């Protein structure tokens, strides 16, 4: 756990507007390794935009400082970053009839592996997300949830083999999944964080966040409204202010995390 | 549905050997058939150092007419097929094709402009510039069209089929009007040159056009195959490709310009031959799957094969006259296009 408490990402003074609308308002945040950070907030709060800035899908404004592992983005060699930063999008536009195995192999692009190593890595990640029995299926014939898991295996594949200095960003990874797969995916995220990765997950379900996140960031109107452990950040007061919904919060009967009920 | 949807997977070696054999036999057949039938054995002999033992007129037909035409067919077919395969990848849509989205029309307008303008200037410019001007203008026309259609039709969510196809219609109409006007002001000689563009023909094969298209094909194959893995990643979407380390802007520009070059060269030599770039990549995917590292060489071989066959048919269908080969490819391709469009209905 050499990365403990180290900043995996730090961004300072991020403001973003699209057209006339201010999406993010002078926002600064640090994301730590060894943690699952859940990014919450109502629709239109700027969650996806923040994630896009953090992953450099949207280029950040000039006066914003973005660092990965204490190194400014300009210091990172372009071809090295994909081995350290992987992003799972909400949906992909892939329409061609690749097999599942071939889709996951697309994740090998940033790596320089021998054929034998590559096979092993792809296989491992298929097993990790539970799609090994789909290997020969054609991608367009999969269900939405299966597709999502295949892409998760793909983005895991692109990370460097020593798992050193890794960031994983998941944009609503559970939206297309059934109950069991939702929990499997978040358990896997938790496991990766335990192994050292900085994991950021955009979620809509507060209870999933409460159960799996080490840290919760609540975003509204382009600002961070709450930041802390689920118990500290997810208070009735805060939820009512941000979502306009009254809630009751109690401790899970067996484990120690909050359970949020709409009141 | 599993791999059974793809034709039994052949090893790369088996496929290459098989298609090279097929290509060789098709080439021979293409030399045999025509208004004057040349015996098969003579055709073989015509390709060997013992060709000089053949009667003079047979030698001439083989070396001046049928061999150049056959080679040109293969080269143009291969260029159109790989350009089509790459465009479909670039647009992330299996309906993209140089003819359908207006790139061929843009190239044809460029070429027609060059013919008319340079014919009027020809006293001032050396002959070789005249020769290069038509492909160059075709390239510029094709490149501008591709850029226009691409940026109109493509967003981060993929390509809008509707915009892409309608832009193709509009550009084809504009190009048709332009070529019509040039027809109107052209003199007799120019008219003969221009008429080529309406339907496409390989009758004008010459060794210089063979060299030009061979060079173009080699450049396309080298660059496309080197960029194939990045193009595969682009199929996931631009953002995803970016996260995999692909410089998407550079990749798109490179591929768009090279496709335009390919189409520009084919249009300037043989006019508008449609649908090869549509049909072949689909056939290719049945054989090799959508991975561009395999699809591009497979498409090149199949494109060469199909255009040679189509041209053979064009030469013998109404002997002693000759059909423009563009009619043959359109008869094959247009129904196929409608079928694909039918399949995509829900996604428009």
Kindly report, residue by residue over A106-124, the tens digit of the pLDDT: 999 999 899 999 999 999 9
Q: Is it the case that residue A258 has pLDDT exceeding 90?
A: yes
Nearest to B141, CA basis, from B197, B95, B191:
B197
For the stretch A199-249, pLDDT in tens is 999 999 999 999 999 999 999 999 999 999 999 999 999 999 999 999 999
Which of A94, A99, A138 is facing B235, going by the closest CB pair?
A: A94
Run of H or E including B28: helix B12-32
- Residue A2: the pLDDT is 47
Quickly count: other Cβ atoms within 10 Å of residue B184's Cβ.
Answer: 8
Residue in B closest to A85 by C-alpha: B243
Residues from chain B that touch A148, judged by Cβ atoms under 8 A, are none
For the stretch B313-325, pLDDT in tens is 988 888 778 888 8
Nearest to A186, CA basis, from A243, A242, A129, A132:
A129
For the stretch A18-49, pLDDT in tens is 888 889 999 999 999 999 999 999 998 899 99
- d(CA B98, CA B113) in angstroms, rounded, equals 19
- Residue B162: the pLDDT is 77
Which of B5, B93, B239 is facing A138, going by the closest CB pair?
A: B5
pLDDT band at B158 (very low <50, low <70, confident <90, very high): low
Please report the number of interchain residue pairs, chain A to chain B, with beta-carbon separation below 8 angstroms: 84
Q: What integer is the mean pLDDT of B228-238?
A: 94
Structure tokens at A123: 């296989």
- Residue B131: the pLDDT is 66
CB contact under 8 A, B247 and A78: yes
Q: What does the radius of gyration of chain B's CA atoms come to, in whole angstroms?
A: 20
Say what the alpha-carbon torsion angle A208, A210, A211, A212 is, to the nearest 10 degrees: 80
How far is residue A171 from each of residues A151, A240, B31, B97, B154, measured CA to CA in Å?
Answer: 12, 24, 60, 34, 23
Q: Is it the case that residue A139 has pLDDT exceeding 80?
A: yes
- d(CA B30, CA B27) in angstroms, rounded, equals 5
Beta carbons of B268 and B135 less than 8 angstroms apart? yes
The predicted complex's ipTM stands at 0.92
Residues from chain B that touch A52, judged by Cβ atoms under 8 A, are 239
Beta carbons of B256 and B150 less than 8 angstroms apart? yes
Residues from chain B that touch A136, judged by Cβ atoms under 8 A, are 2-3
Helix (H, G, I), strand (E, B) or coil at B165: helix
Q: Which residues of B9-41 are buried (b: 16+ CB within 10 A; e: fewer)?
A: eeeeeebeeebeebbeebbbebbbbbeeebeee
pLDDT band at B249 (very low <50, low <70, confident <90, very high): confident
- Residue B129: the pLDDT is 62
Beta carbons of B137 and B145 less than 8 angstroms apart? no
Binding-site residues on chain B for chain A (CB distance < 8 A): 1-3, 5-6, 92-94, 157-158, 229-230, 232-233, 235-237, 239-240, 242-247, 285, 289-291
Q: Which residues pair with A216 in a beta bridge?
A: A38, A228
Average pLDDT, chain B: 85
- d(CA B227, CA A256) in angstroms, rounded, equals 51
- Residue B243: the pLDDT is 95
pLDDT band at B157 (very low <50, low <70, confident <90, very high): low
CB contact under 8 A, A97 and B290: yes
Residues from chain B that touch A57, judged by Cβ atoms under 8 A, are 239, 242-243
Which of B157, B237, B245 is facing A82, going by the closest CB pair?
A: B245
Residue A18 buriedness (CB in 10 A; 0-12 / 13-18 / 19+): exposed
CB contact under 8 A, B233 and A109: yes
- Residue B122: the pLDDT is 57
Q: Which residues of A39-54 are buried (b: 16+ CB within 10 A; e: fewer)?
A: bbbeeebbbbbbbbbb
Which of B1, B158, B236 is facing A138, going by the closest CB pair?
A: B1
- Residue B290: the pLDDT is 93
- Residue B197: the pLDDT is 60
Residue in B closest to A140 by C-alpha: B1
For the stretch B173-227, pLDDT in tens is 998 898 888 888 877 777 776 776 666 778 878 888 899 999 999 999 999 999 9
CB contact under 8 A, A94 and B237: yes
For the stretch A125-138, pLDDT in tens is 999 999 999 999 99
Helix (H, G, I), strand (E, B) or coil at A95: coil
Percent of chain B with pLDDT over 90: 33
- Residue B214: the pLDDT is 96
How far is residue B249 from each of residues A60, B119, B228, B239, measured CA to CA in Å?
Answer: 17, 38, 15, 11
Percent of chain B with pLDDT over 70: 89
Say what the alpha-carbon torsion angle B192, B196, B202, B207 is, to the nearest 10 degrees: 60
d(CA B286, nearest CA chain A) in Å: 9
How far is residue B24 from each of residues B11, B17, B71, B78, B211, measured CA to CA in Å?
Answer: 20, 11, 11, 15, 19
CB contact under 8 A, B290 and A85: no
- d(CA B5, CA A246) in angstroms, rounded, equals 53
- d(CA A56, CA A49) in angstroms, rounded, equals 10
For the stretch B17-27, pLDDT in tens is 888 899 988 98
- d(CA A23, CA A194) in angstroms, rounded, equals 32
- Residue B77: the pLDDT is 96
CA B118 to mean position of chain CA atoms: 25
Beta carbons of B157 and B139 less than 8 angstroms apart? no
Say if residue A6 is preceded by a cis peptide, omega within 30 of 0. Answer: no
d(CA B203, nearest CA chain A) in Å: 37
d(CA A255, nearest CA chain B) in Å: 37
Pick among B290, B295, B344, B346 to test the A interface (most A CBs inside 10 A):
B290
- Residue B41: the pLDDT is 83
- d(CA A252, CA B128) in angstroms, rounded, equals 83
A172: left (phi over 0), alpha (psi -120 to 50) or beta: left
Residue in A closest to B93 by C-alpha: A95
- Residue B96: the pLDDT is 86
Q: Is it the case that residue A156 has pLDDT exceeding 60?
A: yes
For the stretch B96-134, pLDDT in tens is 888 888 898 999 899 888 878 877 765 555 656 666 788
Quickly count: other Cβ atoms within 10 Å of residue B49's Cβ.
Answer: 7
How far is residue A35 from each of residues A168, A200, A214, B327, measured CA to CA in Å?
Answer: 11, 8, 6, 64
Q: Is it the case that residue B2 has pLDDT exceeding 50?
A: no
Q: Is it the case that residue A13 has pLDDT exceeding 80?
A: yes
Residues from chain A that touch B1, judged by Cβ atoms under 8 A, are 137-138, 141
- d(CA A85, CA A67) in angstroms, rounded, equals 12
Beta carbons of A196 and A34 less than 8 angstroms apart? yes
CB contact under 8 A, A82 and B235: no
Between B187 and A64, where is the model more confident?
Answer: A64
CB contact under 8 A, A82 and B244: yes
Nearest to B294, CA basis, from B2, B9, B1, B3:
B9
Residue in B closest to A135 by C-alpha: B2
Structure tokens at A11: 């961004």
Q: Which residues pair with A261 in a beta bridge?
A: A248
Structure tokens at B341: 């469009």
Structure tokens at B72: 């040109």
Nearest to B236, CA basis, from B256, B251, B253:
B251
CB contact under 8 A, A78 and B230: no
CB contact under 8 A, A89 and B2: no
- Residue A3: the pLDDT is 45
CB contact under 8 A, B245 and A55: no
- d(CA A60, CA A137) in angstroms, rounded, equals 39
For chain B, report the end-to-end CA distance as a whole number of angstroms: 24
Q: Which residues pair with B158 in a beta bridge?
A: B155
- Residue A217: the pLDDT is 96
Nearest to B63, CA basis, from B73, B51, B75, B74:
B51
Q: Any idea what DSSP says for residue B10?
A: P
Q: Is it the case that residue B348 has pLDDT exceeding 50?
A: no
């Amino acid at each position: 756990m050499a990365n403990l408490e180290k900043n995996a990402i730090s961004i300072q003074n991020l403001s973003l507007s699209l057209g006339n609308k201010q999406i993010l308002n002078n926002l600064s945040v640090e994301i730590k390794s060894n943690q699952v950070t859940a990014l919450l907030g109502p629709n239109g709060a700027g969650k996806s935009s923040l994630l896009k800035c953090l992953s450099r899908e949207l280029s950040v404004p000039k006066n914003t400082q973005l660092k990965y592992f204490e190194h400014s983005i300009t210091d990172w060699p372009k071809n090295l970053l994909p081995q350290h930063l992987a992003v799972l999008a909400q949906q992909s536009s892939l329409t061609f009839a690749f097999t599942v195995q071939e889709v996951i192999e697309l994740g090998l692009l940033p790596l320089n592996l021998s054929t034998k190593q590559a096979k092993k890595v792809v296989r491992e990640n298929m097993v990790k997300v539970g799609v090994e029995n789909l290997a020969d299926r054609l991608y367009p014939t999969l269900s939405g949830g299966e597709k999502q898991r295949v892409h998760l295996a793909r983005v895991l594949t692109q990370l460097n083999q020593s798992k050193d200095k890794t960031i994983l960003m998941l944009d609503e990874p559970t939206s297309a999944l059934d109950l069991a797969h939702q929990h499997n995916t978040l358990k896997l995220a938790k496991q990766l964080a335990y192994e050292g990765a900085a994991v950021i997950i955009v979620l809509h379900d507060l209870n999933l966040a409460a159960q799996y996140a080490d840290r919760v960031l609540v975003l509204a109107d382009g600002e961070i409204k709450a930041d802390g452990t689920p118990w500290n950040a997810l208070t009735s007061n805060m939820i009512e202010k941000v979502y306009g919904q009254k809630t009751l919060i109690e401790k899970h009967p067996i484990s120690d995390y909050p359970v949020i009920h709409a009141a | 549905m599993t791999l059974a949807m793809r034709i039994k997977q052949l090893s790369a070696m088996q496929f290459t050997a098989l298609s090279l054999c097929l290509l060789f036999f098709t080439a021979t057949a293409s030399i045999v058939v025509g208004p004057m039938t040349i015996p098969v054995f003579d055709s073989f002999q015509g390709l060997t150092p013992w060709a000089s033992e053949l009667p003079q007129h047979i030698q001439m037909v083989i070396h001046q007419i049928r061999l150049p035409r056959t080679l040109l067919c293969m080269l143009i077919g291969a260029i159109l097929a790989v350009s089509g395969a790459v465009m479909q990848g670039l647009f992330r849509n299996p309906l993209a094709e140089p003819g359908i989205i207006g790139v061929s029309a843009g190239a044809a307008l460029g070429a027609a402009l060059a013919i008319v303008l340079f014919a009027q200037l020809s006293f001032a410019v050396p002959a070789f510039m005249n020769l290069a001007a038509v492909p160059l203008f075709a390239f510029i026309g094709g490149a501008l069209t591709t850029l226009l259609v691409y940026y109109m039709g493509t967003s981060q969510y993929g390509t809008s089929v509707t915009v892409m196809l309608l832009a193709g219609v509009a550009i084809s109409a504009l190009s048709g009007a332009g070529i019509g006007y040039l027809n109107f002001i052209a003199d007799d000689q120019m008219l003969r040159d221009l008429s080529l563009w309406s339907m496409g023909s390989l009758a004008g094969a010459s060794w210089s056009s063979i060299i030009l298209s061979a060079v173009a094909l080699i450049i396309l194959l080298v660059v496309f195959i080197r960029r194939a893995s990045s193009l595969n990643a682009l199929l996931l979407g631009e953002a995803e490709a970016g996260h995999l380390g692909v410089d998407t802007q550079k990749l798109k520009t490179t591929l768009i310009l090279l496709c335009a070059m390919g189409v520009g060269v084919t249009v300037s030599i043989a006019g508008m031959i449609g649908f090869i770039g549509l049909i072949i990549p689909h056939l290719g995917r049945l054989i090799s799957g959508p991975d561009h590292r395999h699809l591009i060489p497979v498409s090149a071989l199949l494109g060469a094969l199909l255009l040679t066959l189509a041209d053979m048919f064009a030469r013998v269908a109404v002997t002693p006259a000759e059909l423009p080969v563009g009619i043959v490819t359109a008869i094959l391709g247009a129904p196929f296009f409608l079928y694909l469009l039918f399949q995509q209905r829900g996604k428009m």
